[in-house]
Amino acid sequence: MRDNIKGGALTETTFLIMLAVYKPNYGYGIMQFIEKETGGRVVLGAGTLYGAINALVKKKWITPFGSEADGKKKEYVITDAGKQKVAEELKRMGEVLKLASTIIKEDRGK
């Protein structure tokens, strides 16, 4: 996963998965959340999703939630470190949006 290389942006997939687990959620539920919230623009395959989940768990941005012992599906939830990354990404995206808006506004004035 190419997130935060040299302080760069999170991938859209990573960002969306992290949003999907602000409340405990399981794999298929994450896939449904992302497809619904993006109006079908982003549809994740199982391999992409579980590869990303494993990477996010390694980075400690999300963590398994609850226990599978009671027969429930494995759920994940965002960690405090993950919430910090989301906040940083929102700030970065806001700065990019502001820059783009300024440039486009200036271009329209010509």
The per-residue pLDDT for 43 is 97
CATH code: domain of residue 103? 1.10.10.10
The per-residue pLDDT for 56 is 97
Domain count, the chain: 1
Q: Which of 46-60, 62-76, 94-108 has the lowest mean pLDDT?
A: 62-76
Nearest to 19 by CA among 35, 11, 30: 30
Prediction pTM value: 0.85
Regarding predicted confidence, which is higher, 20 or 105?
20
The per-residue pLDDT for 6 is 59
Domain that residue 91 falls in: 5-108
* Cβ density class 8-28: b for 16+ within 10 Å, e for less: ebbeebbbbbbebbeeebbbe
